[in-house]
Amino acid sequence: MLLLGAVPADPAVAATASPAGDLHPGGQHAQGRGTVVSAERIYTLPTVEEVSASLEEHGFGNDQVRYGVEGYRLVYRTVDTDGRPTTASGLLILPLHRSGALTPVTYGHGSELLRTDAPSTDPHGFDATAALGYAASGFATLAPDYLGMGKGPGTHPYLHVRSAADVTLDMLRAADGYLPTEGRTLRSKVFATGFSQGGGVALGLGRNLREDDGTRFRLGAMAAVSGAYDLRRVQIPAMLEGEVAAKPATVSSAYALASFNRLHDVYDDPGEVFREPYAPKIDELTDGTHSYQELAEATPETLQELLTPHGEGLLREPNEAMSRALVETDNACTGWRPQAPTRLYFAGGDEQAANANTPFCARAFARQGVDVPVQDVGAEVTGPSLHFGSQIAAQPHITEWFLSASRH
């Protein structure tokens, strides 16, 4: 259940606005997955100095900045959790003055609650800034908003790995179709990374690229940071036993249970799982129109104050519907064999993602015969949050690894 992937927004750095008419229509195959519906340039940071300043606003280093960038919002066709046609949006960031075909990096962002906190609608927020760092080192970087976030319709299916991986693959297709209109092209080798909720998304994309026959893309490498890869056996017990900080556990549990219920009918009435006076508020507060701060202010400090005995029982001994939901959250590392180099990062003592999640994932891949290195970057974290700090600390390692791998 995790994760509070949002942080208070810092003031946006200066950016050059696009002309109002800078819109591009989609291609001929309007019903095809990955078809571009619209593309709009939403900012330009033309100099290394401006990019560096933007990264520093959120604590990211700038040693690997080599290019100015421009950011685009893509809206494109994809499918929902039931395979029905829908649309999604995402942030595409391109390095300026970089000649030749560009190597794509996909970045799966951490959990967001307010739909406009997604990368393409909050392009100077924490996760969009992480994506900026990869682009400034020379990659074409794609940060999908996920279903129900950004400009996409509906409600976000929180922690649903497959759908987030699907929209990431479809954004790759969309970018591949769109870039020639800007005189650019994408290489076929893809590097996938992600933080928090997005760690599982990066691994899910790796699975998609291994199994999908309808794309020219192939996986070059994967790097996942501080994910909650096993809710049922690792993350939920850690929250119930106090290993995860109480307030993040409470807020993310409210979000997850409401989201799971929308997909799987986990309960008939909110009062079955949430105590009064919280029960009537949870569904509305998790519909994408409210912030994490609003949800935090409307919920108590501990899970025991939030959940009824039945609600806590769903976490300890899931019923059939809850089990179906957990199967969909806990499949990023299990049941498949990565066919590209993979690395996992975490920060020891993380207050939101239980540390046991990462070795669990490594062991799952080991059972498939794949040795996945695990790196604790906790000693490199300088900010107050080990969770968010783990992305900041891991990113230079990941960037250098991707740069090296892209040369081969």
Q: What string of DSSP letters covers 72-109? A: EEEEEEEE-TTS-EEEEEEEEEEETT--SPBPEEEEEP
Give the closest residue to 37 by CA, choosing from 131, 165, 153: 153
pLDDT, mean over the chain: 92
pLDDT at 213: 62
Residue 407 pLDDT grade (very low, low, confident, very high; cuts 50, 70, 90): confident
**Band of pLDDT at residue 211, cut at 50, 70 and 90:** confident
Pairing state of beta strands 104-108 and 140-144?
parallel
> Range with the lowest mean pLDDT among 26-35, 193-202, 216-225?
26-35
CB atoms within 10 A of CB 344: 26
**Mean pLDDT across 287-291:** 97
Q: Please give the helix or strand (H or E) that residue 39 lies within, else none.
A: strand 36-45
- Return the CATH fold of 23-229+340-406: Rossmann fold (3.40.50)
46 CB-near residues (< 8 Å, 6+ apart): 16, 68, 96
Tokens matching residue 396? 């230079």
* Cα of 157 vs its chain's centroid, Å: 12
Which is more confidently placed, 28 or 223? 223
Euclidean distance between CA atoms 185 and 42, whole angstroms: 20
The whole-number average pLDDT for the span 68-92 is: 97
Which one, of 121, 195, 144, 159, lies nearest residue 390 by Cα? 195
245-329 classified as CATH 1.10.1040.10? no
Q: In what order do the strands lie in the sheet with 189-195?
A: 23-25, 36-45, 69-79, 85-95, 140-144, 104-108, 189-195, 218-225, 342-346, 374-376
The pLDDT value given to residue 20: 28
Query: What is the per-residue pLDDT for 31?
Result: 56
**pLDDT for the residue numbered 29:** 36
C-alpha 166/C-alpha 143 separation (Å) is 13
Residue 30 has pLDDT above 50, yes or no: no
In angstroms, what CA-CA distances link 326 with 112, 217, 256, 320, 370?
19, 29, 10, 10, 24
Helix (H) or strand (E) holding 273: none
User: Is the link from the previous residue into 3 a cis peptide, with omega within 30 of 0?
Assistant: yes
Residue 99 pLDDT: 83
Within this chain, domains 23-229+340-406 and 245-329 share the same CATH topology: no
The single-letter code of the amino acid at 355 is N
In whole angstroms, what is the distance from residue 278 CA to residue 147 CA? 26
User: What would the pLDDT profile of 44-76 be if each residue is shown by its tens digit?
Assistant: 999 999 999 999 999 999 999 999 999 999 999
pLDDT at position 408: 76
Residue 215 has a pLDDT of: 84
Assign 14 a pLDDT band (cuts: 50, 70, 90).
very low
Residue 123 CB contacts under 8 Å (≥ 6 apart), including other chains: 12, 42, 43, 71, 73, 91
Residue 195 per-residue DSSP state: E
pLDDT, position 51: 98
pLDDT score of 15 more than 90: no
Contact (Cβ atoms closer than 8 angstroms) between residue 61 and residue 55: yes
Tell me the domain boundaries of the chain.
Answer: 23-229+340-406, 245-329
Note the residue count of the chain: 408
Tell me, what's the pLDDT at 28?
32
Tell me the mean pLDDT in the region 111-129: 97
Closest C-alpha among 323, 335, 327, 342 to residue 364: 335
24 — pLDDT class (breaks 50, 70, 90): very low
Reply yes or no on whether the pLDDT at 18 is more than 50.
no
Q: What is the mean pLDDT of residues 121-129?
A: 97
Mean pLDDT of 360-382: 97
Q: Which residue has the tokens 């806590």?
A: 312
Across 177-198, average pLDDT = 96
Is 298 a residue whose pLDDT tops 60?
Answer: yes
Rounded average pLDDT over 25-38: 66
Could you give the CA distance from residue 209 to residue 187 in angstroms, rounded to a whole number?
14
CA separation, residue 271 to residues 27, 109, 289, 295, 296 (Å): 48, 32, 22, 17, 19
As a whole number, mean pLDDT of residues 163-186 equals 96
**C-alpha to C-alpha distance for 110 and 159, rounded to whole angstroms:** 10
Residue 7, pLDDT > 80, answer: no
Average pLDDT over residues 329-358: 96
Average pLDDT over residues 160-168: 97
At which residue do the structure tokens 């990869």 appear? Answer: 134
